[in-house]
Amino acid sequence: MPPEPFEYAVLRIVPRVERNEAVNAGVVVFCRTRQYLEARIELGPRQLAALAPLAPELDLEAVRAHLEAVRSIIAGEAAGGPIAELAQPERFRWATAPSSTVIQPSDVHGGLTEDPRDSLEDLFDRLVR
């Protein structure tokens, strides 16, 4: 198959918006032509170690719950509520809309991919892990 255009955004944890410091926690990839939308999210030891000095008071369980909600919505799962029932493009736009909460998306970037799942894994490895 020939390469197809895709879009992606990085999901970042921004514990103190006024300081503009962020820790990457996930990637969302959307490829309309392949009907592919998926998020890969991790709040593991590396992210936790980076967050500790930035915001020791951060409620990590609340952050985990919010990240899980985003993942459920992107996956279209019932646990994601009404937003998860939207079509893939709308769910991607919801996840990548500017936000002033602790979980913020990066700008949306684009590229070409032969396999969106491989692109998601590559981006996740490079930008989150």
d(CA 15, CA 87) in angstroms, rounded, equals 30
Mean pLDDT of 94-102: 91
**Amino acid in position 12:** R
> Over the stretch 5-17, which tens digit does the pLDDT of each residue have?
999 999 999 998 8
Grade residue 99 by pLDDT with cuts at 50, 70 and 90. Answer: confident
Average the pLDDT over 99-116 and give the result: 94
pLDDT of residue 17: 84
Q: Which of 109, 97, 106, 116 is nearest to 20 (CA)?
A: 106
| pLDDT value of position 43 | 92
DSSP class of residue 114? Answer: S
